Chain A
Amino acid sequence: MSEAEQHAAQEVADETAASVERYLYALDKREAFELRLWWRRLVLNEQELKRHTRQRPYPRGVRAALRRCDTIESVLLTEAFRHLWSALESRAWQEAPADDPRKQREHRIETWAAIAAVASELRAETFDAPLGKRLGEKRPDTGDTPRMSDLRFQQLLDCHTSQELIRRFRRALKLADNAGVSVVRLADMVALWDREQRGQYNARATRRFAFVMSDAYFQARALKPGVGD
């Protein structure tokens, strides 16, 4: 590593929560920041990772083990999840007491397990791009078909268990070519869904899971061909 590179890396490593997406529905910015860092170490190769942080990627098998899990319980036992959880937890220990009480969200280990299971499928991300938008875009080499059909999308909105959610979100990501989505936005949707499963609906309907997802989906679908790309 040249000196200049090292310098740049150091600068990036000091990157803070300010660099995450602006408005989040269910995550806070620190959580989003930790998640993105964890995901990069999980997915990116050494070269790519260097651009963002001085930290090292996790060994290859770590991601593979996580991807093989399709229940919350099995995710909890993976090394990958342990990394994510300890990053979030250490932050919680350090910051929670002094923090704004409103931000002291309860740490739901199951929520984060679902997030980990889904996020591990994403191969490359696009900053700020929501999943719904990606799914509503035209499938390459077709006339007017979206990446995900209406019917499938409707099922995606109507998950009732974490297992169902993991399966459907992973399938959705596959249709999205496992790319073109922001990992933070993705996790934010999982967390929002999870919150609503516990009956905590946002008072404003426009900030609920089904609306946020379908608004992005139909916005992308409404775009005229050629404009979207």
Chain B
Amino acid sequence: MKLNLLTSNWLPFRHRDGRIDYRPPSALADPDVLDLALPRADFQGAAWQFLIALLQTAMTPKNTDAWLDRYQTPPGVAELDELLAPFASAFELDGDGPRFMQDLDPLDDVKDAPVAGLLIDSPGANGIKNNTDFFVKRGRVDTACPECAALALYTMQINAPAGGAGIRVGLRGGGPLTTLILPEDESQPLWARLWPNVMPADAVGQPGQAWRAPGVEDRDLFFWMGDTRISDKKGTEVLPEQVHPLHAFWSMPRRYRLLFDETPGCCDLCGREADRPVRHLRAKKQGANYDGPWRHPLTPYRRLNPKKLEELPLSSKGQPGGLGYRHWPGLVLEDEAISGALPARVVTHHLQKYRQVKAARDDGEAFDALYRHARLWVFGYDMDNMKPRGWYSVEMPLVGVPKAHQETLRGWVKRFVDLASEISWTLRNQLKRAWFKRPEDAKGDMSQIDAQFFEATQPAFFTALREIGGVLREDEEAPTLSPEIHRQWYGALKREALALFDAQAISGPLEGMKMQQLERITGARRYLLTYLNGSGKKVGKTMQAFAEAGGFKLKTPASEDHREESPA
């Protein structure tokens, strides 16, 4: 049986009772379905986006009111099946007609390549030839079932890194981050977690795009329904205004053709038997070449130079050091003019929805909860050009506050994050001082220290963030943040900085150490303590300033010293 991505039982869903069943996408409307359960983290992220894209295509709400109506009265499985049915012919994976996200041309003129090429974490042909697949190994995936091949194909098309001459990068740049909105309540069915990420018709498009109802034959929506837009010369770039507003969900920068094998085999990704597995594919250069001011609805962007509006915004990407709360403002708070942060449009829109439905607050109660208690799921590859360094997946609180208080929220969050950054900087320097004879000449990657520090202080930050959100939602004229929240944040940072220093600098036996070493270690620690205590005229300035801004008192150095030392 040929795989159709709308009607076949091809996606593994996790149900309320823990069972995992393969069902068609419409199962997302089943209240018993809680989540997807894909065998790989990047597949999981892609499958979520696939379902969001389907909902967005099959049932885009007219406006925010219609969106809210749907939020309260979800469709049934049968209803969703009906809504999806018209699009079925665009979702065939195999066959002679158009194939999902594949080239209409059979690409008979290119050589067959292994299916592993669809996976981002496979070495390229050059890496295999030169034997440089040290960490990203070859030979792990030779056989893929059609289901996994379909997801691998979708994952590649939405995340594609630039692969050299003519091998096009994805619509939102290589290895983009994706941010999705999730309700805080984890027992919510999958539907309630997908729908917040669907935007109404009046908001989903970008400037220059006019809304029209999606149709299965629309070649500006599904590129694979027509001949490929080959990008072999200048002027063939694909710009936002040339395509359907929903095309961003179905972008197709790469030209592939999956080859189905008649020899059955076991899928190396999910372990299931497949009658007609995919072992090879054909890939060709010069697929759609995306250019222009693309803003994928689910991806955060930023302007490198906020003053130069003619420069294109860049999508945010995963970076070494991970994702933490220091990225939170850039992922949530729009600040185009100063820092250049452009959160994903779905996030910005979600935070504005509140204002739009406020008038109808009586029937907006369910949404109210979503607005107050939502999380942001951030995930994506950390890419070094074509090579993946890692996959990040983090959940953070999403704090919604009235528009009038956005600035205040940004200011407070900045104050908190800045303090953490400053302490982290000093901590790193003092560790260097403890470790090296000539710290200024010491080379090496110290970002691990930052990462550990931010990770350790993350829970405290998100606690503070929730309280900040609570204060600002009270919607008073002049909201103030209590000294206690400031003091707790300061206390958490100080505690973790000292703990990290001690663990890194003095965890081994000190008895056998050279005196110079001991001198460095004790000196660096005393400096750090003075800095953190805010004692010392110059050294303690940062803490003194924060304490003053927050309205709390730093303990006097002497007593603080012992407090820190005394057993818990």
Contact = CB atoms under 8 A, between A and B. Distances in A.
Contacts of A23: 562, 565-566
Interface in A92-149: none
A217 B521 CA distance: 12
Contact of B512 (A158, A205, A214, A219): A158
Interface stretch (B236-244, B480-488, B503-511): B503-511
Contacts of A150: 515
A210 to B, nearest CB: 4
B525 interface: yes
Contacts of A217: 522
Interface string B510-521: 111111001100
B523 interface: yes
Given A151-B515, A153-B515, A158-B511, A211 B522 contact: yes
Nearest to A160: B511
Interface range on chain B: under 10, 10 to 19, 20 to 34, or 35 or more? 10 to 19
Central interface residue in A153, A207, A218, by most chain B CB within 10 Å: A218
A154 B513 CA distance: 8
Contacts of A210: 509-511, 513, 518
A170 interface: no
Contacts of B502: 204-206
B403 interface: no
A221 B520 CA distance: 12
Contacts of B513: 210
Given A215-B526, A218-B518, A206 B506 contact: yes
Interface residues of A, number: 22
A153 B509 CA distance: 16
B506 A211 contact: yes
A103 to B, nearest CB: 12
Interface in A151-208: 151, 153-154, 157-158, 204-208
Given A22-B562, A23-B562, A158-B512, A214 B506 contact: no
Contacts of A17: none
B410 to A, nearest CB: 38
A12 interface: no
A205 B523 contact: no
B565 A206 contact: yes
B506 A218 contact: no
Interface string A11-42: 00000000000110000000000000000000
A205 B506 contact: yes
B506 A219 contact: no
A208 B510 contact: yes
A64 interface: no
Interface in B518-568: 518-519, 522-523, 525-526, 562, 565-566
B127 to A, nearest CB: 44
Contacts of B522: 211, 214-215, 217-219
Interface of A: 22-23, 150-151, 153-154, 157-158, 204-208, 210-211, 214-215, 217-219, 221-222
Interface of B: 502, 506-507, 509-515, 518-519, 522-523, 525-526, 562, 565-566
7 contacts: A22-B562, A157-B511, A205-B506, A211-B506, A215-B525, A217-B522, A221-B519
Given A215-B525, A218-B523, 8 more contacts: A153-B515, A154-B515, A157-B510, A205-B507, A210-B513, A214-B515, A218-B518, A221-B519
